[in-house]
Amino acid sequence: MSHKLSLSLPPNLENPIVAEQLNTSEEEKIQKNIQVHSFCEHHFVPVIGIAHVAYIPTEYLIGLSKLNRIVHYFAQRPQLQERLTEQIAYSLKQILETEDVAVYIEAKHYCVMLRGAEDIRSTTVTMHLSGKFQQDCYREKFFRAIR
């Protein structure tokens, strides 16, 4: 079963931009430990974990709860974790008009825990680092903040 990356924006964000950025600070805005509840699209069993989302504002700031809503919107349907990570990143780039986005998801897949490998300790990590987050200083700062 082949799926294309859905590049639509979440409809539940009426007005995600809360303010124009008034300064030129290049400080990251990070929302940590966003709950991820989804279902594996192959086995239809739960995928449960956390997401950390960050961006560096260029012109716009987004309401903090909107970051959670974006994660929840894309996680509400059966998913591959890799696609979920990319959909969140793409959505943030479009809404905030910036390439400076980081998304990190760590989740337990019940298909791994209860089927096949039967490994209850393993977790799956996916990430998207773009723009300034590909530079060592920003990437390291992001990873220090989410640990």
CA-to-CA distance for 105 and 52, rounded, in angstroms?
A: 6
Q: What are φ and ψ of residue 63, in 5° steps?
A: -60, 135
Q: Which tokens belong to 48?
A: 């449960």
In a domain, 94, yes or no: yes
The domain in which residue 39 lies consists of 19-146
Active site residues: 40-43, 81, 109, 111
Q: In the predicted model, what is the mean pLDDT of residues 30-39?
A: 96
Domain-embedded: residue 5:
no
The predicted model scores a pTM of 0.87
Indicate whether 6 belongs to any domain: no
Mean predicted confidence (pLDDT) in 46-71 = 91
Contact 70, 91 (CB under 8 A): yes
What mean pLDDT value characterizes the chain? 87
CATH of residue 50: 3.30.1130.10
* Rounded-to-integer distance, Cα 72 and Cα 66, Å: 10
In a domain, 80, yes or no: yes
> Residue 22's pLDDT is what?
52
CB 56 within 8 A of CB 26: yes
Q: How many structural domains is the chain composed of?
A: 1
Phi, psi of 35 (to 5 degrees): -65, 135
- Give a yes or no: residue 93 inside a domain: yes
User: pLDDT-derived band of residue 1, with 50, 70 and 90 as boundaries?
Assistant: very low
DSSP 132: G
- Quick check: is 104 in a domain? yes
Q: Using one digit for the tens of pLDDT, what is the confidence trace for 64-116?
A: 888 999 999 999 999 999 999 999 999 999 988 899 999 999 999 988 888 77
Count the neighbouring beta carbons within 10 Å of the beta carbon of residue 106: 16
Which is more confident, 13 or 56? 56
